[in-house]
């Protein structure tokens, strides 16, 4: 059976562990061929936020691309994918996508998802949001992108960064109909009794 394709982009905002969790699960699941592109800013963030090296993260994907490779397969709408996840999505990346400024592969791949009406999930990272950020998010939401800031959900009672990361990665993958182990939904049997009433 031919595997579906999923594009993963990692940009330079804080939140690299979310992409790592998603890549690990997709690799374990085995149903998707993952295509990964990492921005130069993300390479710097990886050094700050992960014990993994860039090479370790690249090894989690089936296919990797240099962000300068504008002629890569994922830059064309004829290359069929299930969509794209950008986690984390910096405000610079958000602005580039919102305004069609596709000067690198990550931006071009996102542009392809919009024009082909494929799922584009953006785990936007900034706090607080400025009016510019909010306008760019509205613009992309109106174009069909899904804006999913990694906002903590307290009903799962996260005790660690790992719990939070799993929950956010689970919310992202849920958009593609995938159930990440450890992702707790509202109304799940594993919540505390007082939340059931």
CA distance 93 to 98: 9
Q: What is the pLDDT of residue 194?
A: 37
Q: How confident is the model at residue 189 (pLDDT cuts 50, 70, 90)?
A: low
- Please give the mean pLDDT across all residues of the chain: 92
Q: What is the pLDDT of residue 188?
A: 65
Please state the pTM of the whole predicted model: 0.90
Q: How confident is the model at residue 37 (pLDDT cuts 50, 70, 90)?
A: very high
Q: What is the pLDDT of residue 160?
A: 80
Total count of residues recorded for the chain: 197
CA distance 189 to 182: 13
Q: What is the pLDDT of residue 193?
A: 39
- CA distance from start to end of the chain: 45
Q: How confident is the model at residue 197 (pLDDT cuts 50, 70, 90)?
A: very low
Least confident interval from 3-12, 44-53, 63-72, 179-188: 179-188
Measured CA distances, 25 to 22, 61, 166, 184 (Å)? 5, 11, 10, 15
The ranges assigned to domains in the chain are 4-151
Checking if the pLDDT of 70 tops 50, the result is yes
pLDDT tens for residues 145-185?
A: 999 999 877 777 767 878 888 889 999 999 999 988 888 77
Asked whether the beta carbons of 105 and 8 are under 8 A apart, the reply is: no
What are the two backbone dihedrals, phi and then psi, of residue 160, each rounded to the nearest 5 degrees?
Answer: -150, 165
CA distance 197 to 177: 28
Q: Per the CATH hierarchy, to which homologous superfamily does domain 4-151 belong?
A: Flavin prenyltransferase-like (3.40.50.1950)
């Amino acid at each position: 059976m031919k595997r579906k394709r999923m594009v993963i982009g990692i940009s330079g905002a804080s939140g690299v562990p979310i992409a790592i969790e998603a890549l690990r699960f997709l690799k374990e699941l085995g149903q998707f061929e993952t295509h990964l592109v990492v921005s130069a800013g993300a390479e710097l963030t990886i050094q700050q936020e992960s014990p993994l090296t860039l090479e370790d993260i690249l090894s989690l994907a089936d296919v990797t691309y240099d962000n300068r490779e504008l002629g890569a397969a994922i830059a064309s709408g004829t290359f069929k994918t299930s969509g794209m996840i950008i986690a984390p999505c910096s405000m610079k990346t958000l602005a580039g996508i919102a305004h069609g400024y596709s000067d690198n592969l990550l931006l071009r791949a996102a542009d392809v998802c919009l024009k082909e009406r494929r799922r584009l999930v953006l785990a936007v990272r900034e706090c607080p949001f400025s009016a510019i950020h909010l306008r760019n998010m509205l613009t992309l939401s109106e174009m069909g992108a899904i804006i999913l800031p990694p906002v903590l959900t307290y009903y799962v009672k996260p005790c660690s960064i790992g719990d939070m990361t799993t929950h956010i990665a689970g919310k992202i993958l849920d958009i593609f109909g995938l159930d990440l182990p450890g992702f707790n939904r509202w109304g799940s049997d594993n919540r505390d009794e007082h939340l059931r009433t």
